[in-house]
């Protein structure tokens, strides 16, 4: 997929990611990719497909199965002025680099004045029958690590624009890609050098009666729910897609609370310890007086994510859950 | 004890009875035929998620597991269906597991052959490669601490040897002189990555001296050689002489999973292994020409395997899907039940409206 | 220190931990310890001092520097019926076992019906000029992992009673010990087999005007602040010491909110992504109507913890911060 | 290239000039005397946190770093004060760092010698052992990708070899043929743990074939032998021939940190190393008897070192403590400043009331 081709029509979330990689590698010879099976094979999900033909083996590096080394080596290369983009074959394996990310990478600038501009990206999230080790949402585990940034796009154009920002960022950005969306959502890319700034949320749908704050795959479920609520209940639901989780867009959060006075936070991660807690605390902190109802959460049940369809569907939040919760909140 | 060497060629495994020699073939045949059945079910979309084959590696799995006693414990990987069968897993369990049925060993919680049973002596793996090595170090540490006459065996692929967990685990076991056998299944590839990009070492067995342990290398497609080498390692462990690294040289004839088209494999490589080095073909030849078994003995096994798999398939297809609420049971011993979230109270299941997300087409998890 | 000696007088938080280990190892031959330098040397902080003399090398095992192997081996031994207690030399190194804990250990019972009764303990927390890698509070990183339990005692008797519960628990308990408290707090142990149940908070001080919900070292800062507020402002401040973070004692949290209607959550971890977010969300969920003011947080600044006294003191929450925040909240 | 062998004894390092031969002594002497000054300051409680000595290991640190060119990069550990000095760190920086002053290289953010400077070619370590190996794999990968004529060197202790990060990093570098030298400083102990409980291997250099890299072993207390072996490894890296593992055999004569009383060390062991195998004593003997330097040359260096350390100490003691609010600067490039939390707004510092927590008595962090 060349940029020219892409401009002519809609491309998927996955292709948007590839296009961002492609454009950034064209733009800046310091950008390179490393990860397992990303070269000739093009990656488990084919995100990096074709990159090696264009940029060669030195800029699309197949590594041993060593997530800590992938991340650590990226950091070392970043110190020296390169701009590495690491792929985790599945984001679940980022846990193997947890020490390296939270202790080495996140603190490099602060403790040693070492720039560490790098991206760690990979397929995340559930709804795909991946079972407990191919469906994780690791964002909450990194939220309390100053020095990292976290983004998690829901749309193809945000995927592209945020990845380009992430690659240009002077610090380490964790870029979570929702694999359920890889080939399910499509969009025409804005023309030119399409950049989405890190730290800015997006109003995915405007509304007056109630706000749903969410990100990634559940943005789409929230939109589905909002439509149903409009249709069946005449409710006007605003959907705020956070896009960036660290830093978080407090301004946009406060603005939506002030508009609707009722907030449902929705995410795919477990309820306990998920990011909804942080969002709730910020709303309490910054907009308590504007609340007409408690901030409520719709999230996954507090269990490892099981594999069988009937089980996974029960554990994860579904559109109907959002509808029920929103009705409750609207009636509060 | 840091010597590394190839185990002796093993065409006359005097320690095995004639029944056992035939049994080896039974397990290899069962492994292959069961996987072939799974391929059919996969094509019928009855398998949930990916399908992983061990085609061409049956000797490695079966021969190594066969060297263990019933009381011993092994930790299989995705290509060790054969090892699990030897250790007592049944075709019915495997089929239910792949079809994510409610009465499968994990009740639909985990994928494919990710399950275990400490009674029969195999431990359920997780996807994160390398992690089972420290775990098996601990399993065998418990044998040592309690003075139990038991041995553990853990498999790692050529790719998994690159993980930190592999290193920490084998080193821990080596220092503690745990009764552990570490089998490195060198099948040439980790997903698409050839061994030459996984390590610069000439042989995986060259890692043994760096851990101060014994190293053995064997032809992984010769079931008797595999048995012999592993048995030697098992005996070492049982004698209290610590860890052995056994490198088995084999070849992954199928892709990483069914969806992988193996475009990265050099032309002709797969065909050559299939034609010249199929472990079942080789062993049938040994059975017939060197060990004096007749064609009927072989055919009898094949018939038995076919019947068993047919029966198991019928039963597995009758197995129920899991009850949705079973997902809340048993995260902890106490409390035994995770609470239902508030917006679900009174609702039978998440999906009583319309939605039922589909698996992503070519998605294959391991 | 034998149990007999201990009964006669006060012992420190650190000695209480050692006493719990000693008693549990006496009681159950399946209990054993493993970790770096815990044998003859008695551990970096001497927590395990003397255990090897009593229980021998097979039950007090010095390991290589391999946190993932320590935790993984503990899991394997636990499956086989032993009861391992792992020491992290500093809890900061638990990050190296993050994968093993969150993926292997936490899911063992659920996905494979494997019991995994084990404890991972170690010196945690700051206020000791330990710098960014010897002062961490890792609790928030594990909060969104169903299958783990987390406790973090503030007093010597809770340290003993909770560790005994943790060792007897059928699942994996992360037992965080605050190293600032090791030799600073003392107490006489309750007689007999002193057990503190996991999952129950403790009212450290009763009050009517405002609640401080906290745990670990900041319990003591909260108590200091409460005294000052009583003395100088006539404010009656309740201090709730959570003790267990997973599971969390919702009942006790709701009860204190209903009593005082004003809540300050205090912890030593960073504000963003710290456990205060989860607590705030639970209060919103369960006791929103009882709130007369927003739930506010007093926590560390969102930076890696620096080493120089002036910097560390600025980053971490201090008693005077709690006093200021409580005054603001009381006046709301 | 998997041969492991002892580097040749190096009493005639013809490649070194007479100035360089003396310089080696200067760095060793500076290392030792600076640490002795730190001990004084520690006793005066002017050091914040623990104090870590490299007594008896000066040759290992100095000789290895001396094999690098200015443009090369090294990653030191806690016992590599000597390496850092060779690479351009100054006594003043070290003293300020240990006293946590505001104008120290980390502005009071990090402990002791945990700092770096990419200009001078050393990278600030973190405490988590092993982590610097992958990082240096990446540093040297960048040299390779850009075709720069630069080499990297990373130190690991005997204890750190047990970490997963060490394994993943060295393997990654080996496969990529990065221009990296991995120096294993085998000083007999990791904190209280003797090498025999860290690994069952006979030698750390035995790990080299398992990574398909070159292995060298040298007497770590013979500065010229250390130089020679490291130089060989550096040359190998520079020639594009990949990674070498260099095992330096030395001995940690002090405890892990100043507070450690070394009760776990066998009677007499320390004294024996001090009496028979002190690297400074040994090298003075070589300088005097084999290389023909006179007593004045030696004394001149000692005087120079003394004066430099006195001057640096005076200046370091005049250094200011950090400004509290500097803690908020530079977590990110953007935003450059972390916000002050709400309850601090308008307050000069956290501690303008009375409280000032004390360090925990015998606490020693690394
Ligand atoms: C820590 C970790 N990283 C990445 C993966 C993804 N992954 C699954 S299988 C595989 C290749 C495994 O190769 P190998 O160990 O040689 O085993 P084989 O499939 O050849 O039997 C990879 C990279 C994983 N499961 N775990
Ligand atoms: C991952 C990790 N675990 C534990 C520690 C605590 N620790 C600090 S130094 C040390 C011993 C290091 O020994 P060695 O690597 O031999 O280096 P030496 O001190 O002998 O130079 C330990 C266990 C650490 N820093 N990092
Ligand atoms: Mg393989
Ligand atoms: Mg050492």
Q: For residue range C72-124, what is the model confidence (pLDDT) as tens digits? A: 999 999 999 999 999 999 999 999 999 999 999 999 999 999 999 999 999 99
State residue B349's pLDDT score.
52
Collect all residues with Cβ–Cβ distance below 8 Å to D26 and sequence separation of at least 6.
D301, D304, D305
Contact across the interface for D200 and B175, Cβ inside 8 Å? yes
pLDDT of residue A36: 98
The tokens describing B17, both together, are 């009875």
Burial B67-101 (b: 16+ CB within 10 A, else e): bbeeebbbbbbbbbbbbbbbbebebbbbbbbbbbb
Whether chain B has a CB inside 8 Å of the CB on D198: the answer is: yes
Tell me if chain A has a CB within 8 Å of the CB of B346. Answer: no
pLDDT tops 80 at residue D217: yes
User: Smallest Cβ distance to D138: which of A74, A111, A170?
Assistant: A74
| CB of D187 shorter than 6 A to ligand 2 | yes
pLDDT digits (tens, 9 = 90+) for D164-206: 999 999 999 999 999 999 999 999 999 999 999 999 999 999 9
Residue A317 pLDDT = 97
Share of chain A above pLDDT 70, in %: 98
Shortest distance between the Cα of C82 and any Cα of chain B, in A, equals 7
Residue B14's pLDDT band, with cuts at 50, 70 and 90, is low
Tokens for A8, please give them.
């002519």
**pLDDT score, position C8:** 59
Query: For residue B345, what pLDDT band results from cuts at 50, 70 and 90?
Result: confident
Radius of gyration of chain D (CA): 21
| Residues of C noted as catalytic | 134
Ligand nearest to the CA of B186: 3
pLDDT at B238 over 80: yes
Report pLDDT for D273: 98
Tell me how far apart the alpha carbons of residues A101 and A87 are, in angstroms, rounded to a whole number: 14
Domain C202-331 has CATH 3.40.50.920: yes
Establish how many alpha carbons lie within 13 A of residue C70's alpha carbon, considering only the half-sphere containing its beta carbon: 33
Instruction: Return the half-sphere exposure (C-beta side, CA atoms, 13 A cut-off) of residue A328.
Output: 17
At residue B353, does pLDDT exceed 60? Answer: no
Tell me the pLDDT tens digit for each residue of A245-272.
Answer: 999 999 999 999 999 999 999 999 999 9
C189-231 tens-digit pLDDT: 999 999 999 999 999 999 999 999 999 999 999 999 999 999 9
Per CATH, the homologous superfamily of domain A3-188 is Thiamin diphosphate (ThDP)-binding fold, Pyr/PP domains (3.40.50.970)
Nearest to B325 by CA among A306, A218, A127: A306
Q: Do D360 and C310 touch (CB under 8 A)?
A: no
- Please identify every residue whose CB atom is under 5 Å from ligand 4, which is an ion: D 157-158, 187, 190
Contacts by residues D341-344 (CB-CB < 8 Å, ≥ 24 positions apart) = D341/C271, D341/C298, D341/C299, D341/C301, D341/C321, D342/A285, D342/C296, D342/C325, D343/C298, D343/C321, D343/C324, D343/C325, D343/C328, D344/C321, D344/C324
pLDDT of residue D363 exceeding 50: no
Write down the pLDDT at residue B15.
86
Q: Which residues contact B310 (CB under 8 A, 6 or more apart)?
A: none
Residue with tokens 């601490």: B145
Instruction: Reduce the secondary structure of chain C to three states and give it as a string.
Output: CCHHHHHCCEEEHHHHHHHHHHHHHHHCCCEEEEECCCCCCCCCCCCCCCHHHHHCCCCEEECCCCHHHHHHHHHHHHHCCCEEEEECCCHHHHHHHHHHHHHHHCCHHHHHCCCCCCEEEEEECCCCCCCCCCCCCCHHHHCCCECEEEECCCCHHHHHHHHHHHHHCCCEEEEEEECCCCCCCEEECCCCCCCCCCCCCEEEECCCCEEEEECCHHHHHHHHHHHHHHHHHCCCEEEEECCEEECCCHHHHHHHHHHHCCEEEEEEEECCCCCHHHHHHHHHHHHHHHCCCCCEEEEECCCCCCCCHHHHHHHCCCHHHHHHHHHHHHCC
Looking at residue D348, its pLDDT comes to 59
Whether the CB-CB separation of A240 and A253 falls below 8 Å is answered with yes
Nearest to A105 by CA among A35, A169, A40: A169
Strand partners, A28: none
Q: Which of A29, A55, A58, A80 to mutate to test the interface with D (most CBs of D within 10 A)?
A: A80
Task: Provide the pLDDT for residue D15.
Answer: 87
Q: Quick check: do C3-188 and C202-331 share a fold?
A: yes
Q: Is any Cβ of chain A less than 8 angstroms from the Cβ of D328?
A: no
Q: Residue B366: CB within 6 Å of ligand 1?
A: yes
Checking if the pLDDT of B312 tops 80, the result is: yes
**CB–CB of B165 and C75 under 8 A?**
no
- A44-47, Cβ contacts within 8 angstroms, sequence gap of 24 or more: A44/A89, A44/A90, A44/A123, A44/B191, A44/B364, A45/A14, A45/A123, A45/A179, A45/A182, A46/A14, A47/A14, A47/A17, A47/A18, A47/A21, A47/A87, A47/A123, A47/A177
The A244-246 sheet, strands edge to edge: A60-62, A31-35, A83-87, A119-124, A172-178, A148-151, A244-246
The Cα–Cα gap between B305 and B327 comes to 34
Burial class (CB in 10 A: 0-12, 13-18, 19+), C289: exposed
pTM of the model: 0.96
Please judge whether D324 and C321 are an interchain contact, meaning their C-beta atoms are less than 8 angstroms apart.
no
Neighbours of B235 (CB within 10 A): 14
Mean pLDDT of B291-313: 97
ipTM for the predicted complex comes to 0.96
**Residue D346: is its pLDDT beyond 60?**
yes
B190, two tokens: 């980790």
Quickly list DSSP for A125-160.
Answer: --SSS--TTSS---HHHHTT-BTEEEE---SHHHHH
The percent of residues above 70 in pLDDT, for chain C, comes to 98
Report d(CA A249, CA A258) in Å as an integer.
15
Judge whether A70 and A86 are in contact, CB under 8 Å. yes
Gap from C261 CA to chain D (nearest CA, Å): 20
Burial status of residue A247 (CB atoms within 10 A of its CB: 0-12, 13-18, 19 or more):
middle
- Give residue D14's pLDDT: 63
Position B352 scores a pLDDT of: 47
Two structure tokens written together for C177? 């010990």
Q: Is C45 in the pocket of ligand 2 (CB under 6 A)?
A: no
Burial string for B5-42 (b: 16+ CB within 10 Å, else e) reads ebbeebeebeebeeeebbbbbbbbbbbbbbbebbbebb
Q: What residues pack around ion ligand 3 (CB closer than 5 A)? A: B 157-158, 187, 190
Interface of B with A in 221-250 (CB under 8 A): none
Does the C-beta of B157 come closer than 6 Å to ligand 1? Answer: yes
pLDDT at B321: 96
- Which numbered atom of ligand 2 lies nearest the CA of D157? 15
Is the model's pLDDT at D10 over the cut of 80? Answer: no
State the catalytic residue, choosing from A79, A134, A144, A267.
A134
pLDDT at B10 over 60: no
**Res A2: pLDDT:** 52
State CA B234 to chain mean position distance.
Answer: 17
Give domain limits for chain C: 3-188, 202-331
> From the alpha carbon of D131, which atom of ligand 2 is closest?
1
Ligand nearest to the CA of D52: 2
- All residues of chain B having their beta carbon less than 8 Å from the beta carbon of residue A316 are 350
- Ligand 2 pocket residue status of D115, Cβ below 6 Å: no
* Neighboring chain C residues of B133 at a CB cutoff of 8 Å: 72
Distances from the Cα of B64 to the Cα of A84, B20, B189, B219, B242, angstroms: 42, 14, 20, 12, 17
Burial class of residue C236 in the structure, from the number of CB atoms within 10 Å of its CB (0-12 exposed, 13-18 middle, 19+ buried): middle
Residue B252 CA, closest ligand 1 atom number: 20
Ranges of chain C with pLDDT below 70: 1-8
Whether B128 contacts chain D with CB within 8 A = no
What pLDDT digit, counting tens, does each position of B88-101 carry?
Answer: 999 999 999 999 99
Spatial CB neighbours of C204, under 8 Å, sequence gap ≥ 6? C154, C219, C222, C223, C239, C240, C241
By CA distance, what is C100's nearest residue in B?
B131
Structural domains of chain D in order of their starting residue, each with its CATH number = 5-317 (3.40.50.970), 324-366 (no CATH)
Asked if residue A249 has its Cβ within 6 Å of ligand 1, the reply is no
Three-state DSSP at A87 gives strand
**Are the beta carbons of B145 and C71 separated by less than 8 Å?**
no
pLDDT per residue as tens digits for the range B121-139:
999 999 999 999 999 999 9
Nearest Cα neighbor of A318 from A236, A218, A199 is A218
Q: Is the distance from the beta carbon of residue C89 to the nearest atom of ligand 2 less than 6 Å? A: yes
What the block records as the tokens of B80 is 């060790």
What is the percent of chain B with per-residue pLDDT over 90, rounded to a whole number? Answer: 89
Residues of chain A with pLDDT under 50: 1, 4
As a whole number of angstroms, the distance between CA A159 and CA A12 comes to 10
User: How much is the pLDDT for D196?
Assistant: 98
Which chain B residue's Cα is nearest to C79?
A: B139
């Amino acid at each position: 997929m060349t940029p020219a081709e892409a401009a002519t029509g809609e491309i998927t979330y996955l292709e948007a990611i590839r296009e961002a990689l492609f454009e950034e590698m064209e733009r800046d010879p310091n950008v390179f990719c490393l990860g397992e099976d990303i070269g000739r094979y093009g990656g488990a999900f084919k995100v990096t497909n074709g990159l090696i033909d264009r940029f060669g083996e030195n800029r699309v590096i197949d590594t041993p199965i060593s997530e800590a080394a992938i991340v650590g080596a990226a950091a070392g290369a970043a110190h020296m002025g390169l701009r590495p983009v690491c792929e985790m074959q599945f984001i679940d394996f980022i846990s193997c680099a947890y020490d390296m990310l939270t202790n080495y990478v996140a603190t490099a600038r602060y403790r040693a004045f070492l720039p560490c501009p790098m991206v760690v990206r990979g397929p995340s999230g559930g709804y795909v029958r991946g079972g407990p080790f191919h469906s994780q949402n690791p964002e909450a585990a990194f939220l309390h690590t100053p020095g990292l940034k976290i983004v998690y796009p829901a749309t193809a154009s945000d995927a592209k624009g945020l990845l380009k920002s992430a690659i240009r960022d002077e610090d380490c950005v964790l870029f979570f890609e929702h694999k359920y969306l890889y080939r399910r959502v499509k969009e025409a890319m804005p023309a030119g050098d399409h950049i989405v700034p890190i730290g800015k949320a997006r109003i995915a749908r405007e509304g007056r009666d109630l706000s749903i704050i969410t990100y990634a795959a559940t943005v789409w479920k929230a939109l589905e729910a909002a439509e149903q609520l409009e249709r069946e209940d005449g409710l006007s639901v605003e959907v705020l897609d956070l896009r960036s989780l660290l830093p978080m867009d407090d301004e946009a959060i406060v603005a939506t609370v002030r508009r609707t006075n009722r907030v449902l936070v929705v995410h795919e991660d477990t309820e306990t310890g998920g990011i909804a807690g942080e969002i709730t605390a910020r709303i309490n902190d910054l907009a308590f007086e504007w609340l007409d109802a408690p901030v409520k959460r719709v999230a996954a049940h507090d269990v490892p994510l099981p594999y069988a369809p009937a089980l996974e569907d029960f554990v994860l939040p579904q559109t109907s859950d959002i509808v029920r919760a929103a009705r409750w909140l609207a009636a509060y | 004890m840091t010597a590394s060497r190839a185990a002796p060629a093993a065409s006359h495994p005097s320690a095995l009875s004639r029944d056992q020699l035939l049994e080896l073939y039974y397990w290899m045949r069962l492994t292959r035929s069961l996987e072939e059945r799974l391929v059919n079910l996969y094509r019928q979309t009855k398998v949930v998620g990916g399908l992983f084959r061990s085609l061409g590696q049956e000797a490695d799995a079966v021969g190594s597991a066969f060297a263990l006693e019933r009381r011993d414990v092994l930790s299989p990987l995705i290509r060790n269906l054969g090892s699990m069968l030897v250790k007592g897993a049944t075709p019915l369990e495997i089929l239910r597991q792949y079809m994510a049925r409610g009465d499968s060993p994990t009740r639909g919680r985990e994928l494919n052959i990710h399950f275990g049973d400490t009674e029969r002596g195999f431990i359920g793996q997780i996807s994160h490669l390398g992690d089972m090595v420290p775990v098996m170090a601990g399993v065998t540490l418990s044998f040592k601490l309690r003075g139990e006459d038991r041995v553990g065996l853990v498999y790692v692929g050529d790719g998994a040897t690159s993980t930190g967990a592999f290193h920490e685990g084998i080193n821990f076991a080596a220092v503690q002189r745990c009764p552990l056998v570490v089998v490195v299944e060198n099948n040439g590839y980790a997903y698409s990555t050839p061994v030459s990009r996984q390590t610069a070492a000439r042989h995986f067995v060259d890692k043994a001296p760096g851990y101060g342990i014994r190293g053995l290398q064997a032809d992984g497609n010769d079931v008797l050689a595999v048995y012999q080498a592993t048995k030697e390692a098992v005996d070492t462990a049982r004698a209290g002489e610590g860890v052995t690294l056994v490198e088995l040289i084999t070849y992954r004839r199928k892709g990483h999973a069914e969806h992988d088209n193996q475009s990265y494999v050099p032309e002709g490589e797969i065909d050559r292994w299939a034609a010249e080095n199929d472990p079942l073909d080789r062993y049938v030849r040994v059975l017939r020409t060197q060990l004096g078994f007749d064609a009927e003995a072989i055919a009898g096994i094949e018939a038995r395997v076919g019947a068993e798999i047919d029966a198991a398939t019928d039963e597995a297809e009758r197995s129920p899907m899991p009850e949705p609420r079973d997902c809340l049971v048993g995260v902890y011993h106490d409390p035994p039940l995770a609470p239902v979230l508030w917006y679900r109270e009174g609702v039978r299941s998440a999906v009583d409206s319309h939605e039922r997300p589909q698996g992503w087409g070519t998605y294959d998890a391991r």
